[in-house]
Amino acid sequence: MPDSQPTPLPDHRRVARALAVAGSLIVALTLALAGLLYSSYHSTIEREQTSLRNLATAYAAQAYYAMLALDTALARGADATSIPAATGVGQHIPARIYFLGPDGEPRQAASAVRPGSDAPVAVPASDSPPQVALGPPGGSGGHATITLAHALPARGESGGGSIVIETDVAYFQRIFASSDLGSGGSVTLLRRDGIMLVRSPTLPDAIGRSFLDTPLFQGHLPRAPVGVIEADSPIDGTRRLYGYSAVADYPLVIITGRDLADTLAVWRWWLWVGALAWALLSITLALLAWRIGRETARQAALIARLETSENRLTHSFRYLNSILDSLATPLWVLDAQRRIVLFNKAFQKFTGKRGEELDGRPEAEVLDPQGAEARGRLYAAVATDGVHTREAEVRDGAGEMRTALHLAARLESENHAAQIVNSLADITERKQVELRLAWLADFDPLTGLPNQNHLRRTLSEAIEHAVANGGQVVLILVALERLQEVADLLGHEAGDEAVRQVAARLRRLAPQAMSPSRVKANEFGLLLTAAPTHRPVDDFAFELHALLSEPVRVCEREFHLQPVIGIAAYPQDAGSVNELMRLADIAKHRARGDSGEPVHFHSDAIHIQLNERLSIEEQLRRALERGELSLVYQPKVHIASGRITGFEVLLRWHNPLLGHVSPARFIPIAEQTGLILPIGNWVLRTACEHASAWRREHGIQPKVAVNLSIRQFYQKDLVRSIEDALAGAGLAPDALELEITESIAMSRMDVVERLLAGIRELGVELSIDDFGTGYSSLAYLKSFPVQCLKIDRAFIRDLGRDADSAAIVHSIVALGHGLNMRIVAEGVETEIQLAMLRELGCDEFQGFLFARPLDAAAVPALLGARPARALETPASP
């Protein structure tokens, strides 16, 4: 049977109707308020105009009586012989009377009177009204004066004249000042011809000025002797309300004015109050209407849902909800479309949503959408087997990731519809504790580095890999001898900070070192997997010691922690993790006990190599100051003519303890430690000085070629150093040639190109040394300002025995000549090599076939002291 109840309005219609009613009330309120303010505005203006008009009329009456008193006093004094001394009058107006002759000159000294006194009165013969004028300052106060005058009839030979009375304007100003018209208000006395006589507050610059052209005199005063005006002030331009009144029987007019802004100040305040009240009331009505409409819609929807529910399930449903809400575990039930049909308060709290935002909504919109796919697989399994549980990461309503056990079970509703009941057991804290314990088992909480357990496991895995694939595993243990001093001096927090700084340095070694770990309080461990293609272990150990020898800065102080290093290797020293750890620890203790030897290898052979390396470095650091370094010169010879074209500078070192040390042994150490920089500068300066001495003492100028290392090449002041060396020796730039390797040329090509261009601008020639053994490239040969290529001795050695070497030399010669470069062959030792170089078109050679390297003193003898022009380099082919 169809439902006979009326169809309820939709929610949006209910809200719209409530808002429409509120809008009507707001419009009515607006119109009423606007009318009230409009009426109040005009009432305020009219009230103020009436007040100003009445005040002007009152002041006009006072002015009339004052003028009448003056006029009466003037009439009494018309007979000059009867003017008495001043006796005071009822008006108490100070005044002075005097006569003027026909020529306008005073005939008799003035006498002070008080209008209204008992002095005899002689009425003047003339009936004409008195003349009112503005006089100059006079009297005791020094103010301007107002004068009244009557003409006198002619008497005998004296011939007429006039009688005058004057009074100080201060009298009128005191009267006018009694009114409070606000900061912009004023009371003004003017003549009918527009001349200003008195103003309060006074404006000296405007007294005596004519205002005849103002609307008062041009329009209003001719029409009515009393009235009101709203106009801009002719004095300061301010908008004012004015009341005016003419003075009866005298050519005077009184004007009272008030600033319009002052008049409307109270009205404006009420305007703001009304606007604020209107805004608050309007907002309140709108919010109230929206809330009423929304609540009405919600109530209607709730009523509709309740009326369609089965009454027999009402009590059971409430009872079930009470049970579910009492549980702290989030519970929710899904229908076949995965919509939420039942949930408890714990689920609301977990999702952070209200009940109306959950009921009937798809689960994917309510619960973490990123886990929807995994939940779908779980529900599919539940539909088959009934009950399933999984551990899941679920994001709650606050956005935090929680770890939970998600249990899902299949059930059927009363109408046999399939549903899924779900629960979440939050195990986040338990999981975090488990993860923390697991982490603490393998990592150091202070530094975050792996601990000894983790290092042992990693070492075991590395050894297993080495057993299966070959190779070497190196264990390095580092002890910081003076770390405890930091804690003893500044406290444990400072000691911990020092340990953290050391850990940060060890992390920067990755991936060179595996698993940098904190083994003990002041000890760290590292692993290296060594192979023929990897860096030597001693190189790494040396750099590690240098890195940890740098001071740490704690509490604004620097501390040197004095690291000692012990090293053991698999399979040379031990075959198990425990044995390797034991031997590395023994080596560390030996490093601690051996004075001056902070790095110790358990392997005797490696230890001997490191000892030799450290000995070379130690002696090399003082080689310059001891004068142990020297230079020798290898001639370069032009193949076609047999003339010497120049010399390559070679470095030699003789040490009292080590004897003659090969450059192949000490040059790499010098480059690694940075000693190559001062040594290279010394070589450059000394070679220039030798070449300059040969020119001064023997008249010869051979070209000297100096090698630059890659460390030396990247000095910021390299070009300046070359320039200073030439200038200090007084050597011409074209007598110097600098040789660089291909590794320098191919590293940071933009920087290299800029430096080579700067060197070439000095006039110094450039050549590529050991060409063919590095990163040969036509690109840098084309872009760099190089004049010469030197073929490496590795290709020269096999000339005559290896066709490939001859082909390579031929290619290099053709390439160089194609780029207008000289070609020099290194290491020529046999006539066969020289003959083939001549046949292949090589320009120059150097080697033992011609001469061994010579001391600087032997060079002039080799050249036979020939003129410098005989040593010039022949033009390139």
Confidence class for position 372, pLDDT limits 50, 70, 90: confident
Q: What is the mean pLDDT of residues 368-381?
A: 84
In this structure, of 3-17, 260-274, 393-407, 417-431, the range with the lowest mean pLDDT score is 3-17
Q: Which helix (H) or strand (E) holds 644?
A: strand 644-655
In this structure, of 270-274, 451-455, 744-748, 855-859, the range with the lowest mean pLDDT score is 744-748
In this structure, of 247-256, 406-415, 630-639, the range with the lowest mean pLDDT score is 406-415
In this structure, of 45-59, 93-107, 509-523, 666-680, the range with the lowest mean pLDDT score is 93-107
Residue 520 CB contacts under 8 Å (≥ 6 apart), including other chains: 452
Helix locations, 345-451, DSSP H: 345-351, 363-366, 372-385, 428-442
Confidence class for position 397, pLDDT limits 50, 70, 90: confident
Q: In what order do the strands lie in the sheet with 226-232?
A: 196-200, 186-191, 252-259, 239-247, 226-232
Comparing CA positions, the residue from 269, 274, 262, 223 lying closest to residue 45 is 262
Q: What is the pLDDT of the chain when averaged over all its residues?
A: 80
Q: What is the pTM of this model?
A: 0.42
pLDDT of 592 reads 67
Confidence class for position 404, pLDDT limits 50, 70, 90: confident
For residue 126, pLDDT beyond 90: no
Could you tell me what percent of the chain has a pLDDT over 70? 84
For residue 402, pLDDT beyond 60: yes
Residue 422 CB contacts under 8 Å (≥ 6 apart), including other chains: 331, 332, 333, 334, 406, 407, 408
Confidence class for position 775, pLDDT limits 50, 70, 90: low
Confidence class for position 163, pLDDT limits 50, 70, 90: confident
Q: What is the pLDDT of residues 712-765, one digit of tens each?
A: 877 888 899 999 999 999 999 999 999 988 777 666 677 788 888 899 999 999
For residue 198, pLDDT beyond 80: yes
Which range of 72-81, 299-308, 815-824 scores highest in mean pLDDT? It is 815-824
For residue 558, pLDDT beyond 60: yes
pLDDT of 728 reads 93
Confidence class for position 44, pLDDT limits 50, 70, 90: confident
Q: What is the pLDDT of residues 446-455, one digit of tens each?
A: 988 999 999 9
Comparing CA positions, the residue from 551, 602, 596 lying closest to residue 573 is 602
Confidence class for position 308, pLDDT limits 50, 70, 90: low
Confidence class for position 351, pLDDT limits 50, 70, 90: confident
pLDDT of 392 reads 82
- The residue ranking higher by pLDDT, 40 or 758, is 758
Burial of 544 (0-12, 13-18, 19+ CB in 10 A): buried
Distance CA 61, CA 194 (A): 19
pLDDT of 774 reads 59
Helix axes 483-490, 492-507, angle to 10 degrees: 150
CA angle centred on 139, ends 137 and 145, rounded to 5°: 45
CB atoms within 10 A of CB 852: 9
pLDDT of 12 reads 64
Q: What is the mean pLDDT of residues 776-784?
A: 70
Confidence class for position 135, pLDDT limits 50, 70, 90: low
Comparing CA positions, the residue from 550, 493, 484 lying closest to residue 520 is 484
Distance CA 255, CA 469 (A): 118
pLDDT of 99 reads 76
Distance CA 326, CA 433 (A): 28
For residue 157, pLDDT beyond 60: no
pLDDT of 207 reads 83
In this structure, of 283-287, 616-620, 808-812, 820-824, the range with the lowest mean pLDDT score is 283-287
Q: What is the mean pLDDT of residues 541-556?
A: 88
pLDDT of 428 reads 82
Could you tell me what percent of the chain has a pLDDT over 90? 19
Single-letter amino acid, residue 245: S
Confidence class for position 121, pLDDT limits 50, 70, 90: very low
Confidence class for position 685, pLDDT limits 50, 70, 90: very high
pLDDT of 686 reads 95
Quick one: tokens of 710?
A: 């890659």
For residue 860, pLDDT beyond 60: yes
Q: Which residues of 393-423 are buried (b: 16+ CB within 10 A; e: fewer)?
A: ebebeeeeebbbebbbebeeeeeeeeebbbb
Q: In what order do the strands lie in the sheet with 472-480?
A: 514-520, 523-530, 472-480, 563-570, 599-601
Confidence class for position 96, pLDDT limits 50, 70, 90: confident
Confidence class for position 136, pLDDT limits 50, 70, 90: low
